[in-house]
Every structure is written in C-alpha cells, then in structure tokens.
Amino acid sequence: MTNSTEVKAGTAPLSSNLKMLQLLDALADSSGPVGVSQLARQVGASRSIVHRQLVTLVAAGWLENLDNGTYALTLRAIRIGQAALRHAGLNARIAERIAAAAEALGEVVSLAAVDGDEIMVIERGVPTRGVRVTVSHGHRFPIIDSALGLVLTAYATPDDYRRLVGTGIELAEPAELESVRSHGYATVLDDEFDPIEVVAVPVGRAIGGVRYALSAHWPQGRTKVRDALSVLEPAARDLDDLISATNGLTSA
C-alpha cells in the first residue's frame, strides 16, 4: 500500500498543481492576508509566477484581493475543511453538538464566521419543538449590529481587524468591543421587525485568535440570556476542542 507521499508507478503529478497547492498551504499557515512578495519568498518562486497563481485562485473564488494589494483566503476553503471533517467523522460530531445545544435551549443555535465583510452561518441546530427559523446554512448578514459580528470583531486577529477596517464597512466602537471581551459574550436586540434577542459567544477564548462564534436567538422575553449562556458556553468549549482536532478548521 502506498502512503500519501508516494506516487503510483507511471503516474506523475502535475507540477503546476502541486505549486498551486503549496501556495494555498502557505496562505493557510499565515496569520492573515499576505502580499505577493512575501508569498514568493515563502514558496521559493518568482513574483510573477506567484502573482499569476494568486489571480487564478481569486478567479476560482478561493482568494480575495484586498485593497492594500494583499491576498486572503475566502470561506471556500471551509468546504474542504468540512469535507475533511465529514471523512473523519468530526463534522457529524460538530453538527450533533450544535443540535444538542439547540435542543437543550429550545432555540435555534448557529455557528458562524466572517466571510469577506459579512457574517456567514456555516452550521445550524434547530430544536424539535416548533420555532421560527430565520437563518439557514450559508445565510449572510452585516457585521454591524449583530451579536455574532460583535464577537467575531472583538476577538479577531489584528490583521483581520485591520482588513475589516480597510473595507470601509461600519464596525462597532472600540469601547463596545472591549465590553464584549470583558463579558465574554455579546447580546443584541433586533427590533427591525418582531423583536428578537440574540446572544453570541466566541468558540475559543484567545483574543486575536477566534475564527468562529456560536449564537442563539429567540422572540424577546421567551428565554433569559443567562440560560442561553449556560448552554452556549459549554457547547462552544466542546466545539473548540472538536474544531482544533483538525487542520482544516482551527480556532485558537
């Protein structure tokens, strides 16, 4: 049996594809967006070749080219990470943990991350009791005025925070972000239509290293925030352990 580094006799790998994947590995190892010159040094290739590879990855939806000329991974990579989790049996465990939290609380629970300048829901749990579902997998919404956005901004890496500022989108004031870090969670009352209470907690506690947040929402007054936190916080710790068990999805 061959291992993952061996090549079957008579079949040669495509060197151009290997170099492209090497570039993706270099981006994944970085703490934030990276420039062409830095990437060229990391992978030992010419700047012009790396630039063409980056342009190709942007066209394919794997990267985004930021205003300052650097490149950042999009959440397209999460699809591969989630597939790896499924193959390892971990994706089901993550989904089961979120579903268990939703059942214990009796409300919808969502796992989300920042994608570009928006929040994207990447997993959701719905209790068996009938509740109004207002978010779904892949659902996107603005960072500002959302509990998930507050948490993910408050705990973002310095590079990610600077990138968000550079996009020109509206972000919470520093004092509000500091309050989120001080309390360890964020709450928002969305009263645009029917008043909805939302609470979110970070998946992981390292400031500057959190990539995911867990939230629950419900009609105003139906559930107490402290009861939601008693379910969400242990669920977030469990999810942090599960996500950190893989290379595809890592939370500090």
204 pLDDT more than 50: yes
User: Which residues sit opposite 189 in a β-bridge?
Assistant: 197
**Domain presence at residue 19:** yes
| Among the listed residues 248, 195, 241, 234, the one whose alpha carbon sits nearest the alpha carbon of residue 218 | 195
Report the distance separating Cα 7 and Cα 227, nearest Å: 54
**Are 164 and 125 in contact, with CB atoms under 8 Å apart?**
no
Q: Are residues 40 and 136 in the same domain?
A: no
Total domains in the chain come to 2
Long-range contacts of 12-20 (CB under 8 A, 24+ apart): 19/43, 19/45, 19/49, 19/53, 20/53, 20/56, 20/57
**Are 112 and 148 in contact, with CB atoms under 8 Å apart?**
yes
Q: Are residues 48 and 107 in the same domain?
A: no
Which pLDDT value is given to residue 4?
44
Which pLDDT value is given to residue 85?
58
Q: What is the CATH number of the domain that holds 22?
A: 1.10.10.10
Domain boundary among 39, 58, 73: 73
Domain boundary among 44, 73, 102: 73
Q: Are residues 45 and 87 in the same domain?
A: no
Its pTM stands at 0.66
> Which residue in the block uniquely carries the two structure tokens 């590995």?
25
Q: Are residues 88 and 136 in the same domain?
A: yes
Bridge-based pairing of strands 140-142 and 63-65 is: unpaired
Q: Are residues 134 and 37 in the same domain?
A: no
Q: Are residues 68 and 84 in the same domain?
A: no
8 pLDDT more than 60: no
**Domain presence at residue 7:** no
In this predicted model, what pLDDT tens digit does every residue of 172-188 receive, in sequence order?
999 999 999 999 999 99
**Domain presence at residue 249:** no
Domain span holding position 119: 76-244
Domain boundary among 73, 96, 122: 73
| Residue 40: C-alpha distances to residues 32, 44, 150 (Å) | 16, 6, 35
Instruction: Give burial (CB, 10 Å; 0-12/13-18/19+) of 97.
Output: buried
In this predicted model, what pLDDT tens digit does every residue of 42-94 receive, in sequence order?
889 899 999 999 999 999 888 989 888 899 888 777 777 666 656 555 578 88
